[in-house]
Amino acid sequence: MAETAKSKGGGAKTSGGRKRGRKDSPSGIGAEPPKDLLDYYRQMLLIRRFEERTAQAYTQARIGGYCHLNLGEEATVVGLMTALQERDYLFTNYREHGYALGKGISSRRVMAELYGRTDGVSKGWGGSMHMFDTQVRLLGGYGIVGGQLPLATGAALAVTYKGGDEVVMCQMGDGTTNIGAWHESLNIAALWNLPVVYVVVNNYTGMGTTVERSSAEPELYKRGSAFRIEGERVDGQDVLAVRDAATDLVERARAEQRPFLLETMSHRMKGHSVVDPAKYRTEEQAEEAKGNDPLAAFERQLTEAGVLDDATKKEIADSVKDEVADAADFAENSPHPDVSTLFDYTYATPVANESTRMPADPVFAE
């Protein structure tokens, strides 16, 4: 189901009037090309298995630092990434492994980044929270909540400055709608008619604080109305609904040259990060998350629709299993960055008197 908060033309008409979603469309799952459906299914399964492998590697101390997983958000991630054209730009928060895969980075290079190796997308400089690839136009996972919003807004400004037709998608979590950068960025994007789609991935909880305890307007898609930005809410557990809603807004942003807001609703299957046991959740809430597994639901739908038979299911499962194992092997065997490269990326333009001393080096070498 999709609800919209239309506020074009000045009124604060924030009540959800329009309902739009896959189930209401005349086509339905039967009208979808099976090849596409299986492709979405494979991508979702890849994210699931990749993240499970990530969690395992983390507990084995192959991966360090903070590590936030997309478990439970597979439908959202695949739906959103399907909506983007190759030339469109993506900015995300720190929960972005799946987005990196979805935007077209190989699972090898994403896993190698998690392992901190030279073949990682960010050459081992970023880690879990900082995936980046100029080629596929993923312009960063960002670790500071809200940090990506002004950046994405400015990227959209650059697109209009150059007269391009790319759209910028800016993903964030539900907690981000309370930070100053949210208000400043949405205001600027609306004032300057920038082609950016802000996507709030609402998993009901910012770390351990529920949306209701942090946002005075907990229906987050309505929070664009202060800036006359049209907002829409979609079931984030339905890959086709997310794809359709996101495609619609991305293409409208491109055609109408203005910003939009999309809120996706899905459950976080684990804690905030790998090390979070999520003790603040009641058993009921944990069960609800488990019971709302988008991958299991999509698998069931595809099976019922006759798109996915046992043989295909096994074939995809094996292929994904192999890909993830290969990614982990690749990461394990990729070289650690050499310490001699420590000062390679401080400045893009070389500069006189840059300090390249190691911790115990004297400031003045004789």
Partner 1 sequence: MSVITYRQALRETIRAEMHRDENVFLIGEEIGVFEGSYKITEGLLKEFGERRVRDTPIAEEGFVGAAVGAAMLGLRPVVELMTINFSLIAIDQIINHAAKIYGMFGGQNSVPMVIRTPGGGGQQLGATHSQNIELFYSFIPGLKVLAPSTPAEAASMMRAAIRDDDPVLFLENLGLYNSKGEVPEEDDTVAEIGRAAVTREGSDITLIGYSRMATVATRVAESLAEDGISVEVVDLRSLRPLDRETIVASVRKTGCAVVAEDDWLTYGIGAEIAASIQEGAFDFLDAPVRRVAMAEVPMPYAKPLETAALPSVDSITTAIHETLAAVGRRVG
Q: Which residues of this chain interact with partner 1, rule CB under 8 A?
A: 89, 91, 120-126, 130, 132-134, 139-140, 142, 144, 147, 149-159, 161-162, 180-181, 184-185, 187-188, 191, 344-349, 351-355, 362-364
CB of 30 to partner 1, least distance (A): 42
DSSP state of 177: G
Find the shortest distance in angstroms from Cβ 22 to partner 1: 33
Token output for 274: 């790998």
Q: How far is the CB of 119 from partner 1 (least distance, A)?
A: 11
Phi then psi for residue 117, to 5 deg, are: -105, 165
Whose Cβ is closer to partner 1: residue 81's or residue 152's? 152
**Cβ-based nearer residue to partner 1, 31 or 352:** 352
Residues 106 and 50: their CA atoms lie apart, in Å, by 11
Shortest separation between residue 183's beta carbon and partner 1, angstroms: 8
Please report how close the Cβ of residue 57 comes to partner 1 at its closest, in angstroms: 20
Looking at the Cβ atoms of 179 and 297, the one nearer to partner 1 is 179
Q: Which is nearer to partner 1, 142 or 298 (CB)?
A: 142
Q: Is 58 or 89 the residue whose CB approaches partner 1 more closely?
A: 89
Bridge partners, 199 (sequence order): 171, 262
Q: How far is the CB of 164 from partner 1 (least distance, A)?
A: 9
- How many Cβ atoms sit within 10 Å of the Cβ of residue 162? 8
Give the residue carrying structure tokens 């115990």.
360
Task: Name all contacts of 325-329 with Cβ < 8 Å and 24+ positions apart.
Answer: 325/53, 326/107, 326/108, 327/50, 327/53, 327/106, 327/107, 327/108, 327/110, 327/111, 327/112, 328/53, 328/57, 328/111
Nearer to partner 1, 199 or 308 (CB): 199
- Retrieve residue 195's tokens: 């082609």
By the 8 A CB rule, do 119 and 109 touch? yes
Q: Which residue, 295 or 331, is less far from partner 1 as judged by CB? A: 331
Residue type, 156: A
Dist. CA 37–CA 40, nearest whole Å = 5
- Minimum Å gap between C-beta 366 and partner 1 is 10
Return the structure tokens found at 275. 């090390």
DSSP states along 333-366: HSPPPPGGGTTTTS-SS--TT-----TTS-SS--
Q: Which is nearer to partner 1, 61 or 351 (CB)?
A: 351
* CB 161 to partner 1: min, Å: 6
